[in-house]
């Protein structure tokens, strides 16, 4: 079963495997170390109790294994998503499924009208993920390809209902 869920303190080890040198190559950042992994899960917990919540930093969980991270950023005029998958899990459709699941949050529960995304121009696999999920290319900016998806009639609710408690799978499909 694939789902997205809140992160917990027990996820720090899995984050180290997700944010490897291979996976961070086009992200403009270094691989994660143990100290960063611990602070990452603390930041995720803090963002989960923000009100209004501006960051959804969620785990992509496949049969109980944390294989990736999907994020929804609401700290900007138009919301944006980003994602990263553990390298040994690439090529199985998980990133695309993770993007679709975050749509359910963005367009369903939060009622956002638009979400944007971008990827490094040398990272075409990420562009394929975005297109498969329904994003439309909007151009290029500073070496990144930009994308958007709009839902006619979306509502921007600044005070969405809280998620269930951390570590509970909140959106899943068989
Ligand atoms: C990009 C990334 C998220 C893709 O994850 P994934 O789970 O392998 O993605 P999916 O399996 O859902 O889809 C990958 C698609 O890209 C395609 N693809 C893979 N390599 C490709 C390449 N070099 N050029 C074009 N398409 C490519 C695959 O064939 C697949 O498309 P298909 O289903 O039509 O065959 C993953 O490689 C990753 O985490 N990379 C490091 C972090 C990153 O780049 N994040 C995105 C930042 S914007």
Reported as a single tens digit per residue, the pLDDT across 1-22 is: 999 999 999 999 999 999 999 9
Reported as a single tens digit per residue, the pLDDT across 59-69 is: 999 999 999 99
The residue ranges of every structural domain in the chain are 2-112
Q: Which of 32, 98, 125, 140 to mutate to test the pocket of ligand 1 (most atoms within 8 A of CB)?
A: 125
* Ligand 1 neighbourhood includes 34 CB (under 6 angstroms): no
The pTM assigned to this predicted structure is: 0.90
Instruction: Tell me the CATH architecture of domain 2-112.
Output: 3-Layer(aba) Sandwich (3.40)
Residue nearest to atom 31 of ligand 1 (CA): 128
Cα 73 to its chain centre, rounded Å, is 9
Q: What percent of the chain has pLDDT over 90?
A: 86
């Amino acid at each position: 079963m694939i789902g997205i869920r809140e992160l917990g303190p027990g996820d720090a080890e899995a984050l180290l495997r997700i944010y490897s040198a291979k996976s961070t190559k086009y992200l403009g950042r270094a691989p994660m170390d143990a100290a960063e992994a611990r602070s990452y899960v603390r930041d995720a917990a803090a963002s989960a109790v923000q009100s209004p919540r501006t960051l959804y930093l969620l785990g992509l969980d496949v049969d109980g294994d944390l294989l990736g991270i999907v994020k929804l950023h609401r700290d900007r005029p138009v919301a944006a998503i980003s994602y990263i998958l553990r390298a040994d899990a690439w090529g199985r459709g998980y990133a695309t499924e993770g993007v679709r699941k975050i749509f359910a949050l963005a367009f369903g529960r939060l009622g956002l009208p638009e979400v944007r995304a971008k990827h490094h121009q040398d990272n075409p696999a990420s562009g394929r993920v975005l297109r498969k999920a329904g994003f439309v290319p909007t151009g290029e900016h500073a070496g990144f390809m930009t994308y958007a998806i709009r839902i006619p009639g979306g509502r921007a609710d600044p005070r969405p209902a809280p998620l269930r408690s951390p570590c509970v799978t909140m959106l899943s499909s068989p």
